Amino acid sequence: MSHNNNLHKAKKAKNDEFYTQLKDIENELKHYEEYFKDKVVYCNCDTEESNFYKYFTNNYTKLKLKGLHRTSYDEGIDFRSNESIAILKECDIVVTNPPFSLFREYVAQLIEYDKKFLIIGNMNATTNKEIFPLIKDNKIWLGFTSPKEFKKPDDEIQKFGNICWFTNIKHLKRNEDLILYRKYSAEDYPKYDNYDAINVNKVKDIPMDYVEVTGVPITFLSKYNPEQFEIIWQASGNTRTNAPKEILEQLDYHLHSEDRGGCPIVNGNRTYSRILIKKK
């Protein structure tokens, strides 16, 4: 399928037609202001009316930018086009809200060209088999804030509870320790049937005195400090297929016909996807 056909589908997809509010851009980018000095910024999914482009235009001098570029698939310039890639090669950092339907391909391009970025995406993308290994290897992490409201093309506001920033730029929140207060007991923290790990339903309930593998909700990633925890792998059908053999052996993984290919099971019942972690 051609890029143009993919592009038309992306433009028509409802999940791609939500626009970031200026206040949410300001709330996130204020945590990175020092980083932008002498940098060339590229907003490669943005028209002149985009709030991303407006933000950098209005704050060009304050941030001490070296340059600013923008392109938009609404104007016929796909981020995968030769024109867009040529600009990408010359920029330092990409900041935008890319089409959700093309998120995996979009991130892959940023990684391929070794670019710094601040982009908006769906939290569920963390469970994708292409995205999760990048998170595990600390090549991508979540940003500082979580936008809740986006404007639709008809100017109505759409609320979400699962949107976050993805970045590879360090920020202060990433180095904050998660305060733990619960103590481990076998009764409160059952083991999975198919992984040698205990189940935790809420991030705040991670036991402070348990040092073996623990399964936590994907919302843990917004609290993840790589100096406090190690991500082992993810217990889900999406990522089991590309898990290294040594990871599966470490987790004592056993394939059950009822586990749908890797989802964690507790006392015969499936749970949601879990991030498997260990305290350092």
Q: Give residue limits of the domains in the chain.
A: 3-175, 198-279
Residues 69-95 pLDDT 10s: 999 988 999 999 999 999 999 999 999
- The pLDDT, as a whole number, for residue 187 is 96
State pLDDT tens for residues 236-245.
Answer: 876 666 677 7
By the 8 A CB rule, do 89 and 113 touch?
Answer: yes
Q: What are the counts of helices (DSSP H) followed by strands (DSSP E) for the chain?
A: 9, 15
List phi, psi (to 5°) of 50. -65, 140
- Which CATH class, in words, describes the domain spanning 3-175? alpha beta
107-116 average pLDDT score: 98
Higher pLDDT, 260 or 279: 279
Q: Which residue has the higher pLDDT, 1 or 84?
A: 84
Percent of the chain surpassing pLDDT 70: 89
Question: Rounded CA gap, 127 and 133, in Å?
Answer: 9
Closest-CA residue to 275 (of 124, 110, 122): 124
The residue assigned the tokens 């004592």 is 252
Handedness of CA 35, 98, 121, 103 (dihedral sign): negative
**In whole angstroms, what is the distance from residue 80 CA to residue 72 CA?**
11
Instruction: Provide the whole-model pTM.
Output: 0.90
pLDDT digits (tens, 9 = 90+) for 220-231: 999 999 999 999
Among residues 153, 79, 145, 138, the alpha carbon closest in space to that of 118 is found at 145
Structure tokens at 81: 């086009």
Local structure of 69: helix, strand or coil: strand
Q: 193 burial class (0-12, 13-18, 19+ CB within 10 angstroms)?
A: middle
- Taking only the tens place, the pLDDT of each residue in 6-55 is 444 444 444 567 899 999 999 999 999 999 999 999 999 999 999 999 99
